[in-house]
Amino acid sequence: MDVGVIVPSWQYWANPIKLQPLWELYYATLIADRVADANVQLIDLRVGGIDPSAIPECDVYFYWIMKSADAVEVYATHAALSFRFPRSQHFAGGNHVDHHADACAARFDASFIGTAEEQIVQAFQDRQDGRLERLYRTAGASPFAAYRHARRDFLPDDRIVNSEHFAQHGGFPGTGVSFSRGCSFHCRFCVYNNPSKFEYRNPEQITAEIEDLKRDYAIEGVNLRDEVCIPMNKVVATGYLNAIGRTGVRWRGQTVTIASEEMVQLAAESGCVELALGLENVESDRVLEIIDKPSKSIAANRRFIELLKKHNIKVKVCLIFGLPGETDAVLDRTMEFLDEVRPDYVAVSGFDPVPGSAIYADPAAYGITRIDSDLSRHAHLLYRFGDAEDVGLPFEYAEQTPFGPGRRRERIVADLCSIQSWLRERGMTY
Ligand code: SF4
């Protein structure tokens, strides 16, 4: 049985090859390991573009749709392959499917809600037995640590390791990894807290995966794709950071701003060279309250940045313009904050009330009157890699919102363009 795991083109990235398709590799590994007679290949549409006529025939195509922005392309690919290969079957899971279960169950031969490892294996068995179901839901515990790490050899080496992950640190060879999945916080704009609790790999698995990558790809650094890369629990964090540290690699990741100094110091000692912080807004604590960030204090966020600098960890600040509760003062306040705090890098994205988020579920509560139904316009956060790119912002605020006057879309767009130019002039973007 030929199984093709499809990697979408990721057309919204300036350099889609830089990051590795970790979830597609992970599920390809699971299917290859657990489904008898499965001949699994990764079909990587990031290279060569979206041309369904170039995709080889398979018995089953598997899509793991993490962003709704990929859904339109995946739907088109599915339709084209179904037409070319009418006997093929199509399985889909991922964040987008979790949040659009009925639409996906109507479209695909089998859809998976949740992390679904055992349900995927079951679906292949059911297919064999002629009783495939349209919808499979994850039932009971399916912990991340119960499964082995993703094989990378479904892709050529140059799509696994590159110098881009650590371009700001001398360009030593690196690759992406995920040592946890899910998130137990509830930021109102987010869909990546799914599963809604952190699931960590155990320390032995973390060390073993890095050692495999060092041996097979000569990597010297790992880019952690975890949503929060310093675990909140001290015991878990200590095991996790020591597991990375004993491999001798350097690493970067993203985290929230509530780790203790002891854990920050341990992160530095374990090889951390850079942390990205989703501060989201530096205009007012009220915005942080509205979007329910783990840290709701700009002053505390500022102190956390100072802590990272003290331990020689470079800081990337991530901000969002257009959030509910923001005012027309956001541009000036943001520039003041960045001038004072002087992070190493800054990324400012446009807000997107992405399908599946709490804000999308109840837009009126946030003063939003319209959300664009075109899924291709929703990409969690909307980052522009240059002035030629569309700003996005697929929504409008009412004139009056529960938090005061609604910002006009044109004003948010202008502020976004201004801050991005301001940052580029200062060499603070990458
Ligand atoms: S934004 Fe980050 S911290 Fe907040 S819920 Fe999403 S993944 Fe968790």
pLDDT tens by residue, 250-286: 999 999 999 999 999 999 999 999 999 999 999 999 9
Residues 226-241, mean pLDDT to the nearest whole number: 97
Residue 112's pLDDT band (cuts 50, 70, 90) = very high
pLDDT band at 385, cuts 50/70/90? Answer: low
Mean pLDDT of the chain: 94
pTM of the predicted protein model: 0.95
How many Å apart are CA 282 and CA 305, to the nearest integer? 13
Rounded Cα–Cα distance for residues 348 and 421 (Å): 11
Nearest by Cα to 426 from 345, 337, 333 = 345
Distance 37 CA to ligand 1 centre (A): 39
- Structural domains for the chain: 2-144 (3.40.50.2300), 161-425 (3.20.20.70)
* pLDDT (tens digit per residue) in 47-65: 877 787 889 999 999 999 9
Looking at residue 145, its pLDDT comes to 97
Confidence grade of residue 92 (pLDDT, cut at 50, 70, 90): very high
CA of 352 to the centre of ligand 1 (A): 14
| pLDDT above 70 (res 174) | yes
Looking at residue 12, its pLDDT comes to 79
- Calpha distance 426→422 (Å, rounded): 7
Ligand 1: lining residues by beta carbon, under 6 Å: 183, 185-187, 190, 192-193, 227-228, 256, 278, 294
Dist. CA 122–CA 143, nearest whole Å:
17
Determine the atom of ligand 1 nearest the C-alpha atom of 183.
8
Coil, strand or helix at 272: strand
User: What is d(CA 70, CA 376) in angstroms, rounded to the nearest whole number?
Assistant: 7
pLDDT for the residue 194: 83
In the predicted model, is pLDDT for residue 156 greater than 80? Answer: yes
Angle of CA points 308, 309, 311, to nearest 5°: 70
Give the lowest-confidence range in 105-109, 321-325, 390-394. Answer: 390-394
* Dist. CA 227 → ligand 1 center (Å): 7
Question: Predicted confidence band at 69 (pLDDT cuts at 50, 70, 90)?
Answer: confident
Q: Residue 29 C-alpha to ligand 1 middle, in angstroms? A: 27
Torsion region of 139: left, alpha or beta (phi above 0 gives left; psi -120 to 50 gives alpha) = beta
Residue 388 pLDDT grade (very low, low, confident, very high; cuts 50, 70, 90): low
Nearest-atom number in ligand 1 for the CA of 293 is 4
3-state secondary structure 7-61: ECCCCCCCCCCCCCCHHHHHHHHHHHHHCCCCEEEEEECCCCCCCHHHCCCCCEE
Are 17 and 161 spatial neighbours (Cβ–Cβ below 8 Å)? no
Give the integer Cα–Cα distance in Å for 195 and 183: 7
- The yes-or-no verdict on residue 298 having pLDDT over 60 is yes
Q: What value does the mean pLDDT take over residues 217-223?
A: 98
Cβ-contact 241, 270 below 8 angstroms: yes
